[in-house]
Structure 1
Amino acid sequence: MLSERMIQNFSNLVSIDSISRSEEKVHDYLKKKFRDLKLKVTEDNSKIKTSLGANNLIATLEGTSEKEPLFFSCHTDTVSPGEGIEVVEEDGKLFSKGDTILGADDKAGIAIIIEAIQQIQEQGIPHGKVEFVFSPGEEIGLIGSSALKMDMLTATNGYVLDSGGVVGRVTIASPTLYMYDVTISGVAAHAGIEPEKGISAISILADALQNIQIGRLDETTTANIGVIQGGESTNVVLDHMLIKGEVRSVDPQKANILIQEVSNYFRQAAKKHGGSVTIEIKRMATGFHINDDENVMKTFLKSAKNLGLEVVREVSGGGSDANSFNEKGKKAVNLSIGYEKIHTTDEYIPVEEMKKAVQLVIEIIKNSPNKME
């Protein structure tokens, strides 16, 4: 019966379209849902700044015992194709009908939280204050969580339910991510009659690329150029190009050095050839690394042991809302909740993994240290 209830909650959630920047309806649903569960519901006014479809939402389960407060976090937006999602169950796994994503990333996390709250209330499990954070715009750059004012949260330790693979995996480190746009400007000229009068953006790019590193640079550092655009005709010296790239490293200092090197190499190449460059750099995420001796991990490790879960510590190459929390002084790790093949129409999640995730959330809440500890 509990599984059926959880599956129904999940199906209800994914049936509400919430592609990034269109999260309003699912937030309205969650506000009613949590108020029905007697939680206090608050929200910020961040959508004025973010232009997302909703504000950050916090549902608070007031404590019944003197334990340290905790927070849990999920994001409410999905990627495309994410409209008209219908859930089907096959061999204990939940899929979409096949022409959309499933949306387990991250609505499975939300369904897991709802089920955990219901079981805590029904079983009368003692607990400290627990704050549940729901943020829009994660899929397009952690926008919602980055705009959240952390003084809205009492808890200093928390868990993001937004990672794939079997329950027991925990992301303890994630990279600082910079994205950059480089506009190269040269001088156009007829390529057959007077190419000498032109300054080729291609020459500037080729010069810069001799020095710029791409690919895997070390175990926790990568760099990539993913977009090169420019040119309209073969008989014109190419005078403008747009380059889009990124650098990532778990070591923030290394990421900072790399992005400065990229910028310098483009500027040097432009100067050499007599052209110019405009460079726009955006820091999309700030990296973090959580050790076993920090309270957020101590509570997780104790809880996983109690449930007999195999713990696998992972270093992610991507970002999550955990990056935003850690950047702003809240210790958070990202927990796996069972989904697989996200962002594809083959996405699925085993029901048994969802059930394990529910028990893990409950166990973490039970094992939150007493305030005096």
Structure 2
Amino acid sequence: MTHLLQHEALQHREKQRQQLLNRFFSYIAFDTQSKPDAQKSPSSIGQLRLAEHLVEELEQLGLSEVKLSRHCVVTALLPSNCGSKKTIGFISHLDTSPQMSGKHVKAELIQEYRGGDIALGKGDDYISPVDYPFLQQLVGDSLIVTDGNTLLGADNKAGIAEIMTALEQLIESKVPHANIRVAFTPDEEIGLGMDFFPIADFICDWAYTIDGGEAGELQIENFNAAGVDIVIQGHSAHPGDAKDKMVNALALACDFHQYLPKNEVPEKTAERQGFFHLDKIEGDIEQVRMHYLIREFDAAQFKLRKQQFQQWADQFMTKYDLQQRFHVEISDSYQNMYEVIRKVPQSLELAKMAMQECGITPLLKPIRGGTDGAKLAVMGIACPNIFTGGYNFHSKYELASVQGMQSAVDVIVKIAVLAV
């Protein structure tokens, strides 16, 4: 009898695994790459198509309050089946990174990775444990990779597939659970989607974004973030007759950049270190536009970084007498979500307990970036970030561990159960 029960349990687990994979492969077929500098959300039609597909799937599962907002945010409710008053939210985003194409994704499932290089498609590209040492921890896992021509889309379609599969498991198992709200948002990668988030349709005690990396990753803080827009007005003249006439905006831009510390940049910082980052520069002699990112975890240090940047700008304008030619605007983008999460410690403790009961060691790491949870925190909802089992996001070397994805489903289900 024991062997029979074990066999049935394995069969049931394999069925759940296949449901998860089927969902993931169907979602990555949608090209949902967001478009930088978009003025509206959703920034791409593919996001709307995936959102409409998810609405149909949620309705088929029997969820209530299924809605698609005019800005492409999907929300729904799975009511508690035991009268629980607690409501927990789960969020993932629809879009993929603008940094790499997500069109015509051709994914390959590698059963039980045995180590060594992973060839991508039929070309010469490969993922090597020499470049990515974390692969050594994934020996024995089944991995999903691309053919080397696109990103995979695990960021964040793995999160969507995990939430949807967890909902299905909660419904089928009839295990007592809290109220569960879900939301799928557009344009997370360009920081736009949460500007139109329908908070009235997402009332909950706290929430979790399912948007992290390796199994066990649990994140409760992120950068404070600001953007700096600079416009330098030059004056063009023929190079042969330019003396005392030409004002070269390109040369001025190069000179200004020298004011910034060379070691406080993304490529030379890690963990909790902040930075200044020249994200974009474009123009000609007549006009140059520059965009900088300012990032810092500590609120006081973040304020100092912004003040320092403004001081450099003032010094530069004075040095070159550019008061009418040099324009600087510093604007906040998002805040460290820890300031809200620390007031709702049970959101962290519940996630840690769920992971531990699933046999997963929680790995507390700061996010060197932002998530939808950071903007949700501004709206008053604590929202830690939980792993998806994905790696190497935003690149053709992106991959996902099937076991990691299954573990994410287990943790979501366990949170729903423990929250009762």
Bin the TM-score by the shorter chain: 0.7 to 0.9
- Change in 2 beyond 3 A, CA 1:336/1:353: same
- Is the CA contact (8 Å cut-off) linking 2:55 and 2:68 kept in structure 1? no
The equivalences for 1:272-287 within 5 A come to 272-275=319-322, 276-287=325-336
Provide the rounded CA distance (Å) in 2 between the counterparts of 1:202 and 1:208: 10
Instruction: Out of 131-140 and 85-94, give the one that drifted further.
Output: 85-94
Provide the rounded CA distance (Å) in 2 between the counterparts of 1:75 and 1:138: 6
The equivalences for 1:87-126 within 5 A come to 87-91=107-111, 92-126=142-176
Residue 277 of structure 2: which of 224, 240, 250 is its match? 224
Residue 224 of structure 2: which of 169, 172, 176 is its match? 176
Provide the rounded CA distance (Å) in 1 between the counterparts of 2:383 and 2:242: 60
The equivalences for 1:1-373 within 5 A come to 1-20=15-34, 21-22=44-45, 23-43=47-67, 45-47=69-71, 55-65=72-82, 66-79=84-97, 80-91=100-111, 92-141=142-191, 143-165=192-214, 167-201=215-249, 204-205=252-253, 208-209=256-257, 211-213=259-261, 215-216=263-264, 219-231=272-284, 238-275=285-322, 276-289=325-338, 290-291=341-342, 294-368=345-419, 370=420
Instruction: Tell me which amino acid in the other structure corresponds to 2:153.
Output: G
- Is the CA contact (8 Å cut-off) linking 2:51 and 2:68 kept in structure 1? no
Determine the structure 2 residue equivalent to 1:51.
none
The alpha-carbon deviation at position 164 of structure 1 amounts to 1.1
- The C-alpha deviation readout for 1:316-342, integer Å capped at 9, x for no partner, is 111111111111110011111110111
Provide the rounded CA distance (Å) in 2 between the counterparts of 1:33 and 1:4: 17
- Is the CA contact (8 Å cut-off) linking 1:185 and 1:240 kept in structure 2? yes
- Change in 2 beyond 3 A, CA 1:5/1:205: closer
Q: Name the SS of the counterpart of 1:174 in structure 2.
A: coil
Provide the rounded CA distance (Å) in 1 between the counterparts of 2:28 and 2:375: 25
Provide the rounded CA distance (Å) in 2 between the counterparts of 1:293 and 1:68: 14
Instruction: Out of 77-86 and 28-37, give the one that drifted further.
Output: 77-86
The alpha-carbon deviation at position 178 of structure 1 amounts to 1.4
Q: TM-score, normalised by structure 1?
A: 0.87
Instruction: Out of 201-210 and 101-110, give the one that drifted further.
Output: 201-210
Structure 2 unpaired stretches of 5+:
1-14, 35-43, 112-141
The alpha-carbon deviation at position 135 of structure 1 amounts to 0.2
The alpha-carbon deviation at position 42 of structure 1 amounts to 3.5
The alpha-carbon deviation at position 173 of structure 1 amounts to 0.6
Instruction: Out of 182-191 and 196-205, give the one that drifted further.
Output: 196-205
- Is the CA contact (8 Å cut-off) linking 1:337 and 1:353 kept in structure 2? yes
Provide the rounded CA distance (Å) in 1 between the counterparts of 2:412 and 2:332: 31
Q: TM-score, normalised by structure 2?
A: 0.78
Provide the rounded CA distance (Å) in 2 between the counterparts of 1:215 and 1:336: 30
- The C-alpha deviation readout for 1:149-168, integer Å capped at 9, x for no partner, is 32322213111000111x21
- Is the CA contact (8 Å cut-off) linking 1:168 and 1:304 kept in structure 2? yes
- Is the CA contact (8 Å cut-off) linking 2:230 and 2:328 kept in structure 1? yes
Q: Name the SS of the counterpart of 1:8 in structure 2.
A: helix
Provide the rounded CA distance (Å) in 1 between the counterparts of 2:251 and 2:25: 54
Instruction: Tell me which amino acid in the other structure corresponds to 2:244.
Output: E
Identity %: 22
Between structures 1 and 2, the one with greater strand share: 1
Q: Name the SS of the counterpart of 2:350 in structure 1.
A: helix
Provide the rounded CA distance (Å) in 2 between the counterparts of 1:324 and 1:163: 16
- Is the CA contact (8 Å cut-off) linking 1:214 and 1:224 kept in structure 2? no
Provide the rounded CA distance (Å) in 2 between the counterparts of 1:294 and 1:351: 30
Instruction: Tell me which amino acid in the other structure corresponds to 2:361.
Output: E
- Is the CA contact (8 Å cut-off) linking 1:288 and 1:323 kept in structure 2? yes
- The C-alpha deviation readout for 1:47-71, integer Å capped at 9, x for no partner, is 2xxxxxxx21111101112241100
The alpha-carbon deviation at position 183 of structure 1 amounts to 1.1
The alpha-carbon deviation at position 354 of structure 1 amounts to 0.9
The alpha-carbon deviation at position 202 of structure 1 amounts to 5.6
The alpha-carbon deviation at position 190 of structure 1 amounts to 4.7
The alpha-carbon deviation at position 18 of structure 1 amounts to 1.7
Q: Name the SS of the counterpart of 2:220 in structure 1.
A: strand
Q: Name the SS of the counterpart of 2:105 in structure 1.
A: coil
Provide the rounded CA distance (Å) in 1 between the counterparts of 2:243 and 2:283: 17
Provide the rounded CA distance (Å) in 1 between the counterparts of 2:288 and 2:31: 37
- The C-alpha deviation readout for 1:342-363, integer Å capped at 9, x for no partner, is 1122211111111111110011
Q: How many residues align?
A: 354
Instruction: Tell me which amino acid in the other structure corresponds to 1:330.
Output: I
The alpha-carbon deviation at position 204 of structure 1 amounts to 4.4
